[in-house]
Structure formats: structure tokens, C-alpha cells
Structure 1
Amino acid sequence: MMLNKGTLGRPAEGRKWRGLAGAAAAMMLAASLSGCMYPRERMAESQAPSMDVVAGVQAVVDLYQQKKGLLPIKNANQETPVYEKFVIDFPKLQRENFMSDLPAASFEKGGSYYFLIQNEEQDPTVKLMPLTIFQSVNDVQGWVDQYGRSHEGVLPAAGEAYPGYSRIDFKKLGQREPSVRSLYSGGALPFMMSDEGRVYADYGSDMMRFAQKRGLDKVGAELDLRQLLAEDTDFVPVKSPPFKLVGGEPVAQPE
């Protein structure tokens, strides 16, 4: 999908610094991306690329938009969840000589992340979608679906997580719960499912910590708490339903 720059509006004031570096600096960042990243063996340990990798890709995206009037992103339909859409089209950037090599962390290079564009209309910003979490939720979804088919639609519930959401009884599934770590805290990331059987990752504890850091009174009751995680870090909360503060606590909302 290619968004016309004319429809994007003016960039936010906080992004004006991007243009100051100029095309030459952005191209230098693009050419040196492979030198900015962790070695593959360290990548396996950290599960996250260094910050300068994201900054380098951001510079390339900004330069592409400046030169082409478009964003270098792949097509996404209306049904694609917000934190899974607008994947950066790295092959296009290579074909058009905006990048000499791809980030080692990128899926296209054999890494564990999709590089996405968020806030695409007002202030296009590069973010990372962790494929380990994405795939783990999909795996659990497959087990839950299979269980439901063989148990007349009954779900493997193990107590309420939030209104309309429950924990998952992995013993009923005959499976070991996948060990998934939050990129926001390093702690274990639990799974949950809706009453309809849709599986999600539960970022509630991360959201609480970020909300407290910002100030609960400043967050308010209407903000989708996923925005806190996406705005304050390089990572998007993939496979999460909307959350809002209810009684001072993060509570999952219906999609």
C-alpha cells in the first residue's frame, strides 16, 4: 500500500529534525545499517535490535517519503489489526536503491521482527512487531480451535482474566504453555482468550506500569492503553485487544 504524501498532513513538530540531516546523511545511514546491528548470536540472546537500527530505517523511510511523496509500505486491508499493518516494503527500498542491505532483525533477512509504520497519516514512525509473540499466539489459537471442535464448542477456560476474557487451561489442551517474554518488562507474557475463543497476549501488567509512569490521572479512562506501549517504546503490542483504565486498573475491552 502506498499512501500519497499529500494526504498525510504536515509532520509533527517533533519530527522536524529529520529533514535537517539531509538526503546524504540518510543515505549513509541506509548504507551502514548492517554495521549498526547486533551480531546474530547476540540477537538470539537479546531478541531485539539496537536502537540505531530503528533510527536508520526511520531515516530511510523519511527520505523515501521526501523523494517519492509516498510511504514504502505493503498493502493492508481494513480487517488487518492496527498493530500488524503497514509493514515496510524492504524489497522495494532495495530495488530503488534506498537501502544496500536489510536489517538482520527483519523477517526478510531471517530475523524475528516485522518493521512497521505507525501513525502513518500524521507522523509516520517506524516500530517493531515481534514475530515470536505473533506466532506463539497463533499456535495457541490453533490448539484452542482444535479443542473446541472436538468438545462441541466448549472452550478450555481456566478462570476469568477480565470480563469477557479467560485464562487458558493448557492441561486440557494437552500442551505446554509457550514461554514468551514481554519486550516491555522481560517478564512472562500470559495468554488469554475471549468468550468467543479468540486468543490474545495479555499486556495488562505492562500497561499498568506504563500508565503509572505517565500518571494515572493523565491517562484518563478513554485512552486505549496499547498506545502507551507503542508510543513509549520501539515495539507494538501485537495480538492484544484494546485496554482501558477501569477503576484505576487496565481492563481488556471487546474488539
Structure 2
Amino acid sequence: MVGLRAFAGRMSRRARPSPAMRRGLSRVAIAFWVLAVLLIPAGCLYPEERRVGQEPSVEYLREVQAAVDRYREAEGGLLPIQTRPADVPRYEKYPLDFRQLVPRYLARIPPNAFEQGGRYQYVLIDVETTPQVRLLDLAVAAAVNDVQTAVNRYWMKRGALPIRDVKPNGFYGIDYAALNLQPVQVKSPYTGQYLPLLMDPLGRVGVDYALDLAQLLPKHADPSRLPKDLRDFLARNHLFVPVRAFPYRLERGEPVPLPNGFSFSPVINPAATHIFVLSN
């Protein structure tokens, strides 16, 4: 033990820096300390600053709605919307054109809008009756687009759909392994739960909102008091529109998707007789 202490003492004396070296090290330490004081708060705060105003906001929605109403009144019923092709999905057909609103009717574009780098696109629903402003979650749309692209590629190569299993009403689960993808689920803007994707007989990919509808629809609801298409229930009663959603109706008290009426141009040749071949 004494030998070890003596050895440690000798090593400590040998490793002790000279006065000049200590002064140099002190200057370096102070410089690093000042740099840390300047940079660390910036690194911590910048993400927070980036998030300010990026979340869904009822206040932003009200401001934009008021601007749309003023524009509509001043322009004889016209709406400040962008032009979209007829085959665009239903709730993506009428995105707002903020260039027609700012600055005359709206002071600024909301910071959570796509035009400002946000993840939401401001759209209109019920344009022929009472136009209402809603949010479209572009992150959900992007996730569906990625899977759709992979399905298209698989069809072009194999002449079959990447089907994992058969769902009710002619829908299919997606064989992600065949697409070399991890299973994809998207976070619902309505409930926060994660929703799976579905594929119809034409190879069109959409979000399965059955879980959301089952949770949000009034219990023992009278179907005659609900919209014929349950997507309208989601859009009219919440801040968001359902993205890439098939039509839904109640069957035996359960919301089920319908293969018809999905307003998105077919990506697979509907005349192909072998379209239902399961993937290997």
C-alpha cells in the first residue's frame, strides 16, 4: 500500500503542469466556458422558437375564417382558393390561396401554414353551401404518398398488388415486407392514436379512420342524423379534414370503409384481370 501511494505521488508530481502551462490552460478553459454560455442556451431555445405557432390553433382558424368571409362578401361570393384537378382527393380540392387574402383581409399567413414552413395546409369544406376553413395534415399525406409510391412500383414490377390479408368490403392490408418497408401507421389528428393504412382493389392507399370514427361518433347514433359519408362528420366537427380517406358508413353500428367514391385517380389499371393476385 505504501509503495502504491509513493508511486501515485511521483506520478502526480510529474503530471503537474508548469505555471506557464497552467496560465495557458486557464485561458483555454475560460474561452470554452464563454463559448458554452453563448451556444448552449441557443441550442436549447432554437427548437422551442421553431415550435412556436406551429401547433393547430383555433385562434388562427378563426382569423382565417373571418378573412375568407370578408373576401367572399367583397368579391360577390367568390372564394380565395387555388385551382386543383378534378381527381384530387376530396378534402384537398380547395386549398386556400393566401395571396388573395394577405394583407387586405388577413394581416399575415398563420405560422403553422405550409406557406410559412408549417405542416398544415388550410383548406375549405362545404364550398357550395357554407364554406368552412379546416386544416389538412401534410405529414399524414406525405406518409400515405410514400406507401402509394412503393405500391405503384411493386405493381409495375410484379403485375400484382402487395396484399397481406383481405379486409371487409374488398379492402386489403398492405404487405410491407414485400415493399421492403417497415409497417406504416399515421398519428390521428383527431384522437392521437395511430391508424393503419388500407389498400382498395385498384391499389389506391388510404388511411383507415374506423378507429377514430368508432371513438368519436355518438354512442347509439341514429344513422339518419349522421352524414351519409362519415368523413363529413370528422371534417365538420373538428379542426381537421381526414387525409386520403375512403368514404365511410355505418354497418350494424360499426364504421366501415367503402371502395367506391374515393376521389383519387386510379394508380393501377382497373382492367387488369389479375389485379387480386396475392403478393408472395
TM over 0.5: yes
The amino acid across from 1:208 in the alignment is A
What's the counterpart of residue 16 of structure 1? none
Using structure 2 for the length normalisation, give the TM-score: 0.71
Aligned to 1:121: 128
**Unaligned stretches of 5+ in structure 2?**
1-47, 262-280
Asked if the contact 2:124/2:131 (under 8 Å) is kept, the reply is: yes
Partner residue, 1:231: 236
Compute the displacement of 1:203 (Å): 0.5
| Structural RMSD (CA) | 2.0
Kindly provide the amino acid, as one letter, of the partner of residue 125 in structure 1: Q
Q: 1:159 to 1:123 in 2, by over 3 A?
A: same
CA contact (8 A) 1:211 1:219 kept: no
Distance 1:186 1:123 in 2: 28
Answering whether residue 169 of structure 2 is matched by residue 159 of structure 1, we say no
Equivalent residue in structure 2 for 1:85, among 70, 81, 93: 93
- Per the normalisation by structure 1, the TM-score is 0.77
Moved over 6 A (4+): none
Q: How many residues align?
A: 212
Q: Which amino acid aligns with 2:51?
A: E
Residue 41 in structure 1 maps to residue 47 in structure 2: no
Q: Which secondary structure state, in structure 2, belongs to the residue aligned with residue 167 of structure 1?
A: strand
Q: Report how far residue 179 of structure 1 moved.
A: 4.5
What are the residue-to-residue correspondences of 1:1-255 with 2, within 5 Å? Answer: 40-42=50-52, 48-69=55-76, 70-94=78-102, 97-151=104-158, 153-213=159-219, 215-219=220-224, 223-253=228-258, 254-255=260-261
Cα pair distance change 1:196/1:109, threshold 3 Å: same
Distance 2:122 2:226 in 1: 30
Aligned 8 A contact 2:226 2:233 in 1: no
Matches of 2:218 and 2:89 in 1, distance apart?
A: 26
The change in CA–CA distance for 1:93 and 1:220 in structure 2 (over 3 A counts) is: closer
Distance, in Å, in 2 between the alignment partners of 1:161 and 1:226 is 19
Q: Is the 8 A contact 2:206 2:244 kept in 1?
A: yes
Structure 1 residue 247: Cα displacement: 1.5
Distance in 1 (CA, whole Å) between partners of 2:84 and 2:188 is 26
CA positional deviation for 1:88: 0.7
Deviations 1:82-127 (A, max 9, x none): 2111111101222x62223211111111111110111112111001
Further displaced range: 99-108 or 221-230 = 221-230
Q: 1:118 to 1:180 in 2, by over 3 A?
A: same
Q: Is the 8 A contact 1:210 1:228 kept in 2?
A: no
Q: 2 CA distance for matches of 1:194 and 1:205?
A: 18
Letter in 1 for 2:239: D
Q: CA deviation at 1:77?
A: 3.4
The code of the aligned residue for 1:41 comes to R
Post-superposition CA distance 1:152-191 (Å, at most 9, x none): x221111123221111111111111334200111011211
Gaps of 5+ in 1: 1-37
The one-letter code matched in structure 1 to 2:74 is K
Matched residue, 2:24: none
Output the amino acid matched with 1:101.
R
Task: State whether residues 222 and 245 of structure 1, in contact with CA within 8 Å, keep that contact through their aligned partners in structure 2.
Answer: no
Letter in 1 for 2:56: P
Larger Rg: 1 or 2?
A: 2
Instruction: Give me the whole-angstrom Cα distance separating, in 1, the residues matched to 2:175 and 2:52.
Output: 34
